[in-house]
Structure 1
């Protein structure tokens, strides 16, 4: 007899969770809080051509590669998605994503709309797309300035880019306004919980229901 115990029923296919937002809208904070509240969710480790920053660890924060190696990975079709971001290339290796889906592990992606479109093409039924909006452009600019990491010229560039990124909000499954980071994080948690329970993500239900109705009284 097939194993239809609660443990078996929980062996669902993994979920790919995309959080996108303009820089400064809060997706990094929400991503961190989401993973802290649910250690079963892991962040996808991207390959990048940018240099390592202070405090970063190779193959933990990013896979740091040179331009030649990144291009070879593109040519060998090793990425599920990749894009230029602020003059550097970033990409999500395909094989770890496939392994996580098969093993029922959920993966979080901090990528822009370009990467999301490519990921949708490759893994549509496994993907949940969430876009985070700032409460206002003035508040977004204030947050960027308060970080203290960018000069005025860089902030202007990020604000121009933000307007273009926000234009893609309607391409996402869920759109949240981050006027309160705790409330927005709870909304993301609720989305993830609901998506995990979708019928098509619980493949063992078919066998369970069949056996349930065929079982003799």
Structure 2
């Protein structure tokens, strides 16, 4: 009887705690998703505390209680976006040549919500205080398209220079996409040309054609 009563009391204590945790997680997730939606749709300047709370259907007090301030919410939202993007990339075949690496980089950049990454890079560069809050996750985003992460495919200066040229061209396309609010009519032609240049370089180096 005593043991049974004890178990019931423990369960009673755990029940509300578990429910509160679920409510907390749901509130945080709603604010994170609302923030990412705003960043993708309206840009960094329009992603304010008020706008995020309105989109999530929550009060400003909820944001302050769960995140403290907007920069912390932005950092958490970017962390969530990075985790999702990394998971998507992990499901794809690993590149085995420079041409593959260029194509894989484009599959990262062409994703509709890569605009959020560009917005974060620019915001971190222009606002030192915000940069301190979101800097670590911005650095991780940068590594997704950093040739230093794949020295096996870009082992020398000439190969790295070619990859960086292709990457910067594709980032330019991404900026154009953000401005046009959608894919550009010429982007596939540009990307195919960049992949072809990388393929030719692979052949000259004796890599995978």
TM-score category, normalised to shorter length = under 0.3
TM-score, normalized by length of structure 2? 0.27
> If you compute each CA radius of gyration, which structure gives the higher value, 1 or 2?
2
Indicate the structure with greater strand content.
1
Indicate the structure with greater helix content.
2
Asked which structure has the greater RCO (Cα within 8 Å, sep 6+), the reply is: 1
